[in-house]
Structure 1
Amino acid sequence: MITLLSAPSNLGLRPPRRGSVPGTAKAPEALREAGLHARFAARGATDGGVVVPARYVDDDDTRTPGHVRNEEALVEHSRRLAVRLTDALTTGNAPLVIGGDCSLLIGAGIASARRGRTGLVHVDGHTDFRHPGNSAECASVAGEDLAAAIGLHWPAIADIDGLSPYFDAAQTAHIGHRADDEEQEEVRALLGLVTPAADVIARGAADVAAASAAVAGPDGYWLQVDVDVLDPSVMPAVDSPDPGGLSAAQLTDLLRELAPGAIGASITVFDPDLDPDGRYARLLVDILDAGLSDLGTRGIE
């Protein structure tokens, strides 16, 4: 059974403008309004409630070197999200986390590490692999989550409660970055499998999903999906849209293939502030309803 968890955190994103607040915190309720919870409830899913984050602060003027923005709040939210995920997993349910930004992967990683670790399939239009070893601009965990998840970040983010790495790099598959991604060669050298969006389009979702699932492991994996893997012509309501992404049908097919083997999933970076009439929320609900209806079924059977 699927348990829906709302995690309306925007703590890992840079502000869209100085002093402003990213809109991703509104995504869970925007998707609820568009019918997401009703669709999944009709399939037997339960509503696991909300993991509420602390206040977002644009701390660029006060943050000291060696720290990410909203660091204390982000770590505290990650710990509480991990507890809720562990509760769902312990009862045999597959948690579906509706974010929020992709720093939510840290909470999923903590939960995974505490239960004995699983693999990771990271579906994202970017590699999200900025870290202190390759950049002097580390500040926003939403662009650094994959690096942190395999242990390549400051310990305050990558080694919470001494659990680093949250996921083994050799059991991590990334899917969906664009051809100009700056960190792609480093990612290829470190992860078990890396597949750009162009390969998904050329080879088909089934082939890419099967290869990725094989790398992530037979004992299940966490499925992290950042909706900017979609092409901006399909989904412009994201923080960093880049051309060359997947169609709605391609992402649906990819999720449909990956969902059964996942122990849970997180959906991130949809920004309702960029969707004034709700059309992209409704599209995303259609994709998730069709693509994730079998989430966790392989492990439950």
Structure 2
Amino acid sequence: MPGTAKAPEALREAGLFDRLASMGARDGGVVLPGRYIDDDETRDPAHVRNQEQLVDHTRRLAQRIGDVWSTGDTPVVIGGDCSVLLAAGLASARRGGTGLVHIDGHTDFRHPGNSDECASVAGEDLAAVVGLHRPAIADIDGRAPYFEPTRAAHLGHRDDDEHVDEARTVLGCAVSASRLASGGAAAAAAAALETAGESYWVQVDVDVLDPSVMPAVDSPDPGGIGADQLTELIGVLAPRAAGISVTVFDPDLDPDGACARILVDIIANGLAAAVS
């Protein structure tokens, strides 16, 4: 999504990189995405939007993630939209495989087997990384599935998510935002840890937050979790995470920077648990 491409610099300006640096992190640089093209009128219907640019960016970001791992460090990827999960998955598959904890206000489980409208990987990323999308997206370099479905846990969808029933049959576990809110972040994290195993990638789509907390997303659906719950989730999951990606914050919808500052606190305070 064009607006979300501005998130890394907006969060840098709001203090995120300084906060992480104070905990010992180093700046791993920028992997520029290809230019966004509105290609709905010209692309092959069997292709997703910006497919060529997306696949190229996936390979380049996967290489950068692998480079960080080669130094013994843990990558934190600041997106961008949820399509960056493809790169995390490709890098993980090249490494030999990890589990996945997918924290998102939607299951992102749309794929050609359940929809005739597949085009936006930002709403199809979880299905893609467990091997259910078209090969051009789900099997880059012959690495499908990037994450084994039984080691993939999803947390945070709304109760009316249209693909949750299928996700529950395919994934190791799926916990709704309402269950997470009533049972507590620690219990949800425990279920995810049991599913994902000793090493896993953590994908955080900030639309898991309720719009009263985080309206600066493209799909601000009511019924999300609070800032404290997301901070706690990250804090519990971060110490054993192979890597973390944070996506879908849109600075164009945050004119005064208030949402950026909230998100900086959530990310930095959550990750502090990994280095304390």
TM-score by length of 1: 0.90
Displacement of 1:65 in angstroms is 1.4
Partner of 1:4: none
Partner of 1:19: none
Partner of 1:6: none
CA distance in 1, matches of 2:240, 2:156: 19
Aligned residues: 276
Partner of 2:86: 106
Displacement of 1:200 in angstroms is 0.8
Query: Which letter does structure 2 place at the counterpart of 1:263?
Result: A
For 1:1-301, list aligned pairs within 5 A: 10=1, 22-218=2-198, 220-295=199-274
| 8 A contact 1:213–1:261 mirrored in 2 | no
| 8 A contact 2:6–2:250 mirrored in 1 | yes
CA distance in 1, matches of 2:82, 2:271: 18
CA distance in 2, matches of 1:294, 1:82: 26
What are structure 1's unaligned runs of at least 5 residues? 1-9, 11-21
| 8 A contact 1:150–1:168 mirrored in 2 | yes
1:173 match: secondary structure? strand
Moved more, 158-167 or 200-209: 200-209
CA distance in 1, matches of 2:221, 2:8: 23
Query: Which letter does structure 2 place at the counterpart of 1:283?
Result: I
Deviation per CA, 1:124-170: give whole Å up to 9, x if none.
Answer: 00000000000000000000000000000000000000000000000
Query: Which letter does structure 2 place at the counterpart of 1:234?
Result: V
RMSD: 1.0
1:222 match: secondary structure? strand
| 8 A contact 1:120–1:167 mirrored in 2 | yes
CA distance in 1, matches of 2:14, 2:90: 30
CA distance in 2, matches of 1:36, 1:51: 18
CA distance in 2, matches of 1:293, 1:46: 15
| 8 A contact 2:236–2:273 mirrored in 1 | no
CA distance in 2, matches of 1:203, 1:162: 39
CA distance in 2, matches of 1:92, 1:80: 19
Displacement of 1:294 in angstroms is 3.8
CA distance in 1, matches of 2:236, 2:187: 9
Percent of aligned pairs sharing the same letter = 67
CA distance in 1, matches of 2:229, 2:98: 25
Deviation per CA, 1:64-90: give whole Å up to 9, x if none.
Answer: 111000000000000000000001112
CA distance in 1, matches of 2:135, 2:112: 11
Deviation per CA, 1:193-236: give whole Å up to 9, x if none.
Answer: 11000111011111110110111012x10000000000001000
